[in-house]
């Protein structure tokens, strides 16, 4: 049943906290709401700060949709010191002198990382390797050979250079490891380096300026007070197009019915623009102001003039 704790909560995670620790603090506030699930969309390492999206109740069903959004980070790279984790928590594996690099030279090297790039995730990461988390194997001293993956860096802007420190703003796709980016940039520049600090400024359409500092969660200790900050599940994925369906179809979908595209557009109260709203992607179904389901739309080939070929219900939400 949908209640005030169904949705997402924007939290500004502090340094030294784990993402799971923030989840536990939020869960303790909602413990009186029996059965309320709490999770998060996108881990931040303990040394990192910034936007952490907490998922509440039926909001936990939104994880894959929220995590797929692009991210914006503020990152500081320290040249001359390489660590085994690519961040300040790791063991130093190499140190070297930092030459007098010009800002223009650094920007030229950094620009080479803009676009589709291939990077290897840090071995101290949550990526699964042979059925187990890579960081667990690495901590046991076992060899971990992670495969390269393609990610996209939409923009990388060098903000300040105060050697050995370089601060940059990065806008990137989901799955991009800023630690790997920092280490790769350090190697390209010559002396090597690691990610000294990281702050997530944005995830999808949400910004850290609108988040509740994690240190203040305890002050919002009453469930009613914290609930006022919860973004309802329908509003938690604003970038996904929407069809408002009639009540009878909404009830059928909630009971397991798989609608056709014709069902949706013939009985909808408001039609959508196919080309602008989903591009063969996700569509929300809503009724009476509430989210009913999320479906995946598959388009036919060009010869069918953009007609919808197939729709599949991926997630259903109760009322």
Residues recognised as catalytic? 45
Q: What are phi and psi of 112, to 5 degrees?
A: -70, -15
The alpha-carbon radius of gyration of the chain (Å, integer) is 22
- Quote the tokens at residue 84: 């085994």
């Amino acid at each position: 049943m949908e209640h005030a704790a169904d949705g997402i909560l924007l939290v500004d995670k502090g340094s030294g906290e784990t993402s799971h620790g923030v989840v536990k603090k939020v869960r303790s506030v909602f413990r009186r709401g029996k059965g309320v699930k709490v999770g998060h969309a996108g881990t931040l390492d303990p040394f990192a700060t910034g936007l952490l999206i907490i998922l509440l109740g039926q909001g936990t069903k939104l994880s894959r949709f929220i995590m797929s959004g692009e991210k914006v980070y503020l990152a500081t790279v320290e040249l001359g010191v390489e660590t085994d984790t690519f961040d300040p928590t790791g063991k130093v594996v190499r140190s070297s002198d930092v030459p007098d690099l010009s800002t223009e030279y650094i920007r030229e090297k950094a620009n080479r990382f803009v676009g589709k790039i291939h990077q290897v995730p840090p071995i101290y990461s949550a990526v699964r390797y042979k059925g187990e988390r890579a960081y667990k194997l690495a901590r046991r001293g076992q060899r971990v050979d992670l495969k390269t993956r393609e990610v996209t860096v939409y923009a990388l802007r060098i903000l300040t250079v105060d050697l050995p420190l370089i601060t940059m703003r990065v806008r990137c796709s989901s799955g991009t490891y800023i630690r790997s980016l920092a280490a790769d940039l350090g190697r390209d520049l010559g002396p090597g380096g690691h990610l000294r600090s990281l702050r997530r400024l944005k995830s999808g359409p949400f910004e850290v300026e609108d988040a509740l500092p994690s240190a203040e969660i305890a002050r919002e200790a009453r469930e009613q007070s914290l609930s006022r900050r919860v973004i309802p599940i329908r509003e938690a994925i604003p970038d996904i197009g929407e069809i408002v369906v009639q009540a009878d179809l909404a009830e059928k979908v909630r009971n397991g019915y798989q609608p056709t595209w014709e069902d949706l557009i013939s009985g909808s109260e408001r039609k959508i623009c196919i080309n602008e709203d989903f591009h063969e992607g996700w569509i929300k179904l809503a009724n009476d102001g509430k989210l009913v389901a999320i479906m995946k739309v598959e388009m036919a080939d060009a010869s069918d003039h953009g007609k919808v070929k197939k729709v599949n219900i991926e997630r259903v939400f109760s009322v």
